[in-house]
Amino acid sequence: MQVKLDKSFRDLTGQDKANCHNFLRSSAGELLVFDLSHPESVSPVVVGDCRGCVTTLSWIAADRAHPKTCNSVVASTSSGFILVFKLNLLKSTFTLKSGFMLQSQDVPRGIRGPIDETEGVEVTTASFNKEDPTLFVIGAEGGGLFVCSSSSEVPAGREFDNVRVMRCVTSVLSPHTGRVLTSQFSQHHHNAILSSASDNQIRLYSILQPNKPVSVIYSEEIITCSELSPSRPMVVAVGLVTGQVVLHDFGTKSCQPFLSLPAAEKPASITYLKFNKKEVALLAAGDRLGRVSIWQLPDDAVSPLSTEHNALANLLDTVTE
């Protein structure tokens, strides 16, 4: 059932009302921070520059007890950078804290283009581990998936705003054969990683088994994005080029979705999916026409089964040759 958009943006995304700032990215490389407590304002309160198309953003909030203190924003770019900025809302400034780079030499030979060790490889998606904030996973244009560490002290031979850029890759996951659309650490298990790509595969990996995904779902339709359920450890929502959103369960052997949400009357490719962290039955879906639909999912789609957490742990901890 499709429901009306009757909540504010910060409610739908689970943002604290005491810290109602959000950011937008730009193909020109700008980071724009807006204050949602003043919806009549159309001007950003802070603007930063990544010097290249921004592909993903991650918000790392400050201490809840001091909402006006500095926050961090992590941006990945089409030029291969992963940049960590300190956001100071009082001074309206972005300051680069650290920078990392995915280089050609980090990419497996089978999907590697012409090698230029000074140039970066486009990072299409990135996600940080909830339990270990120094650990993150990134996906790349050619299908590469990489587990990375922000503790790296190996220089990449580049600088960004006078900050020395580091290499970050610690291990390489079995690559896709198309552009990676999603790389996401699970909040249910510290070893679990979700990926999806333009090869129409949705994969579940274990860090302990980088050479082979522990489970694969093959989509009959073209995939555009995906998002793990915050309440059901084995469930993933997948956006399709047809404008539909489908839910899959890694716990079943079938590649068919167990729930399908129909496309709008004028279908358009789904570009983004997001579950509400507090009201887990709400799923927001954005499309290429700029529309946002808010879905109220049925209870059986969001209520975890008693066996799901153990099933996920068993799947991830079974390391095969």
* Phi/psi of residue 105, nearest 5 degrees: -70, -15
Q: What is the pLDDT of residue 70?
A: 55
Domain boundaries in the chain? 7-175
Separation CA 207–CA 305 (nearest Å): 24
HSE, CB side, 13 Å, CA atoms: give it for residue 90: 5
Neighbour tally for 182: CB within 10 Å: 26
Helix, strand or coil for residue 136?
strand
Q: Using 50, 70 and 90 to split pLDDT, how confident is the model at 18?
A: very low
Place of tokens 């084995």: 234
Interval 249-268: pLDDT, tens = 999 888 899 999 999 999 99
Q: What percent of the chain has pLDDT over 90?
A: 61
Q: Using 50, 70 and 90 to split pLDDT, how confident is the model at 5?
A: very low
- Which run of H or of E encompasses 299? helix 299-302
Q: What is the pLDDT of residue 241?
A: 97
Interval 100-125: pLDDT, tens = 999 998 998 877 766 566 678 999 99
Residue 210 neighbours by CB under 8 Å, 6+ apart: 147, 171, 172, 173, 174
Q: What is the pLDDT of residue 17?
A: 40
- Inter-residue contact 96 to 79 (CB < 8 Å): no
Average pLDDT over residues 63-83: 75
- Least confident stretch, 1-15, 246-260, 272-286: 1-15
pLDDT: which is higher, 20 or 262: 262
Q: Using 50, 70 and 90 to split pLDDT, how confident is the model at 47?
A: confident
Interval 188-208: pLDDT, tens = 999 999 999 999 999 999 999
Place of tokens 């490389």: 29
Task: Assign domain 7-175 to its CATH superfamily.
Answer: YVTN repeat-like/Quinoprotein amine dehydrogenase (2.130.10.10)
